[in-house]
Amino acid sequence: MKKSDFHFELPSELIAQAPLAERSASRLLLLDVPARAWQDRHFRELPQLLAPGDLLVFNDTRVLPARLFGRKDSGGAVEILIERVLGAREARAQLGVSKKPRAGGGIVLEDGSRLTVLGRDGEFFDLRLEGGETFDRLLARLGRMPLPPYIDRAAVDADDERYQTVYARHAGAVAAPTAGLHFDAPLLETLRARGVEFGYVTLHVGAGTFQPLRAERLEDHVMHREWLNVGAGLIEQIRRTRERGGRVVAVGTTVVRALESAGASGTLVPFAGETQIFIIPGYRITSIDGLITNFHLPESTLLMLVSALAGRELILDAYRHAVAERYRFFSYGDAMLIWPVAGSR
CATH of the domain at 21: 3.40.1780.10
CATH number, position 86: 2.40.10.240
Do 121 and 206 fall within a single domain?
no
Look at residue 148 and tell me if it is in a domain.
Answer: no
- 304 and 198 within one domain: yes
Domain presence at residue 152: no
Given 112, 142, 172, the domain boundary residue is 142
Report the pLDDT value the prediction gives residue 214, as an integer from 0 to 100.
84
- The Cα–Cα gap between 286 and 305 comes to 13
Contact 318, 21 (CB under 8 A): no
Q: Looking at the 3D structure of the chain, how many domains does it have?
A: 2
Alpha-carbon span 4 to 9, nearest angstrom:
12
Considering 91, 107, 142, which residue would you say is the last residue of a domain?
Answer: 142
Residue 109 burial class via C-beta count within 10 angstroms: exposed 0-12, middle 13-18, buried 19 and up: middle
Which of 142, 176, 206 is the last residue before a domain boundary? 142
DSSP 8-state class, residue 289: S
150 part of a folded domain? no
**56 and 72 co-located in one domain:** no
Question: Is 345 inside a domain boundary?
Answer: no
**Does any domain span residue 96?**
yes
| Residue at 22 is within a domain | yes
**Residues 94 and 172 reside in one and the same domain:** no
**Helix 301-310 / helix 253-262 crossing angle, nearest 10 deg:** 70
Query: Do 171 and 316 sit in the same domain of this protein?
Result: yes
Q: Is 149 part of any domain?
A: no
Are residues 313 and 170 part of one domain?
yes
Question: Over its length of 345 residues, how does the chain's per-residue pLDDT go in tens digits?
Answer: 899 999 999 999 999 999 999 999 999 999 999 999 999 999 999 999 999 999 999 999 999 999 999 999 988 999 999 999 999 999 999 999 888 899 999 999 999 999 999 999 888 999 999 998 999 999 999 999 999 999 999 999 999 999 999 999 999 999 999 999 999 999 999 999 999 999 999 999 987 777 778 889 998 988 888 999 999 999 999 999 999 999 999 999 999 999 999 999 999 999 999 999 999 999 999 999 999 999 999 999 999 999 999 999 999 999 999 999 999 999 999 999 999 975 554
Evaluate if pTM is beyond 0.75.
yes
Question: Does one domain contain both 216 and 302?
Answer: yes
Task: For residues 138 and 202, state if they share a domain.
Answer: no
pLDDT of 222: 86
Residues 118 and 243 in one domain: no
SS3 content of the chain, % helix, strand, coil (to 5): 30, 30, 45
Residues 121, 169, single domain; the answer is no
Are residues 30 and 99 part of one domain?
A: no
Q: What pLDDT, on the 0 to 100 scale, is given for residue 342? A: 57
Q: How far is it, in rounded angstroms, from Cα 25 to Cα 44?
A: 7
Query: Domain for residue 151, yes or no?
Result: no
Look up the domain containing 173 and give its range: 3-63+160-339
- Backbone phi, then psi, for 193, in 5-degree steps? -65, -30
Residue 134 shares a structural domain with residue 164: no
